[in-house]
Amino acid sequence: MNTKRLRDRIQRVLQDQDCDVVLDGSRPWDPRIRRERLFSRVLRGGSLGLGDAYVDGDWECDRLDELFHRLLRANVDHRFRSLPLLVEAVRARLLNPQRPSRAGEVGRRHYDAGNDLFEAMLGNPRVYSCAYWRRASSLEEAQDAKLAIVGEKLDLKPGMRVLDFGCGWGDTARFVAEHYQCEVVGVTISAAQAREARQRCRGLPVDIRLQDYRDVTGRFDRILSLGMFEHVGPRNHRHFMRRVRDLLPPDGLAIVQTIGTLRTGSAPDPWIAHRIFPNSKLPSAVQIARAAEGLLIAEDWHNLGPDYDTTLLHWHENLERAWPELAGRYDERFHRTWRYYLLSCAGSFRARRNQLWQIVFSPEGTRRHYRSVR
């Protein structure tokens, strides 16, 4: 099929799906085509081809976030089923990419990318999960509000022992130790995160461990997991919930904050799976409920999905502002990769294709009515 016919085919799909996107149009969300090979890459590779083509400079767009909002809201991606998507679906169904021997790959390839990068992008506190924007006007306020609401939902008290699954650079553990006078154990599979977290939590009752969640032992009054469950994988969901149950006393509480997908069994996006978060798989509400069934009681389920759109836009703004200083250590392909990652994900949350859930669990049900916090 020649280039013109490929282009016309893609434009017809855009028109049929009524997403108000025009190739080489004049609006900020209209993609500008730099190399005609883009069309064959999209038809052959779906989202993987589209993302790689952007990184290679085959197309540009001033508002990637709004482009993806429109494409995903109109389900345009359903018209471009590709071999990479099929491979990811089969891989997620038949294999266990998150088994212990593979679990550290996302740490090495993503979270170890560079502490300077994450410091610039995330700001202070350095928390790599959705912020809470109900009464916040800045990213710092919104992240502090998220950590505060987590503390309220867990009913943290001085002297409690708290486990932080996926502790990142330690700022969540530091917040819990400073504001609630708790003892915290934080675990991460990223060596770079662990080194930084130990520095940031120095002098506090915080123990940072380079450790897989499956290897944690002991007993904790409370457990929190903010943005880590996405890396657990469906074949390990039940084991994760069992670990939470085993590590908590009967009157304990746990909170799991995770990005969620709308459909059970949906394949990971091939571009995200290959270029950003290897071996990761978003859970559905059904998968979470099945994993917890008979082990934990869901006391509260809070959807903050639209807040992630705002959070991602702030991270992108921070990254762009800091890029002149980062450019000496990261090349332009890396820059385009991360811009595409942050803004395409923002568009996905704006389209409500992805959700963000905070779920409070108890082993046996709270003895008094659980007070939901918003």
Q: Verify that 18 and 160 share a domain, yes or no.
A: no
**In a shared domain, residues 110 and 73:** no
The tally of CA atoms less than 13 A away on the side-chain side of residue 278 is 15
Q: Is residue 96 part of a domain?
A: no
Torsion angle of alpha carbons 152, 163, 165, 344, nearest 10°?
A: 20
What per-residue confidence (pLDDT) applies to 96?
Answer: 55
123 and 217 within one domain:
yes
For residues 154 and 265, membership in a common domain is answered with yes
Is residue 44 a part of any domain in this protein?
yes
Nearest to 166 by CA among 128, 121, 198: 128
| Best CA proximity match to 341, nearest among 306, 303, 313 | 313
Give the containing element (helix H, strand E) for 258: strand 253-261
Nearest-angstrom CA–CA distance, 162 and 221 = 6
**Cβ neighbours of residue 146 closer than 8 Å, sequence gap 6 or more:** 127, 129, 130, 131, 132
Kindly state whether residue 346 falls inside one of the protein's structural domains: yes
Helix axes 37-55, 83-94, angle to 10 degrees: 50
**Residue 127: Cβ within 10 Å count:** 25
> What's the pLDDT at 92?
56
Tokens linked to 227:
């943005």
Q: Output phi, psi for 311, to 5 deg.
A: -60, -45
The answer to whether position 165 is within a domain reads: yes
Pair 76, 193 in one domain: no
Which pLDDT belongs to residue 319?
98
* Contact criterion met (CB below 8 Å) for 148 and 346: no
Nearest one of 33, 31, 17 to 64, comparing CA atoms: 31
The verdict on 66 and 204 lying in the same domain is no
What is the pLDDT, as a whole number, of residue 336?
A: 98
List the domain range (segments joined by +) for residue 262.
Answer: 105-362
In a domain, 89, yes or no: no
Encode pLDDT of 205-227 as tens digits.
999 999 999 999 999 999 999 99
pLDDT of 350-370, one tens digit each? 999 999 999 999 999 988 788
Q: Per the residue annotation, which of 167, 182, 201, 345 is the catalytic one?
A: 345
Q: Outline where the chain has alpha helix (H).
A: 3-16, 37-55, 64-73, 83-94, 100-103, 105-106, 115-122, 139-154, 171-180, 191-200, 237-247, 270-275, 285-292, 305-326, 332-350
Examine the domain organization and report whether 216 and 315 are in the same domain: yes
Tell me the Ramachandran region of residue 355: left when phi exceeds 0, alpha when psi lies from -120 to 50, beta otherwise. beta
User: According to the model, what pLDDT value does residue 306 have?
Assistant: 97
User: Is residue 332 included in any domain, yes or no?
Assistant: yes
Rounded CA-CA distance 374/364 in Å is 23
Cα separation of 10 and 1, whole Å?
Answer: 12
pLDDT confidence of residue 83 = 47
Q: What is the DSSP code string of 60-114?
A: E-S-HHHHHHHHHHTTGGGG---HHHHHHHHHHHH--TTSHHHHTHHIIIIITS-
CB 268 within 8 A of CB 331: no
Residues 195 and 327 in one domain: yes
Q: Determine the Cα–Cα distance for residues 23 and 49; give it in Å rounded to an integer.
A: 17
Gap between the Cα atoms of 356 and 136, Å rounded: 18
Q: What is the pLDDT of residue 149?
A: 98
Two tokens at 10?
A: 């893609």
Residue ending a domain, choose from 81, 115, 132: 81
As given in the structure block, the two tokens for residue 52 are: 């790689």
Backbone angles phi, psi at 127, to 5 degrees: -120, 120
DSSP characters for 301-328? EEE-HHHHHHHHHHHHHHHHHHHHHHTT
Same domain as 242, residue 297: yes
Residue in this structure with the two tokens 């434009």, named with its chain if needed? 11
pLDDT at 162: 98
The confidence score (pLDDT) of residue 88 equals 54
Quote the longest CA-to-CA distance of the chain. Answer: 69
Judge if 217 and 273 occupy the same domain.
yes
Q: Which ranges of the chain have pLDDT less than 70?
A: 1, 81-104
Domain containing residue 313: CATH number: 3.40.50.150
- Specify whether 193 is located in the same domain as 287: yes
Within a domain: 367 = no
Q: Could you check whether the bond before residue 97 is cis, i.e. omega within 30 degrees of 0?
A: no
Same domain, 251 and 123: yes
Query: How far is residue 126's CA from residue 197's CA, in Å, rounded to a whole number?
Result: 10
Residue 303 lies in a domain: yes
167 is catalytic: no
**How many folded domains does the chain comprise?**
2
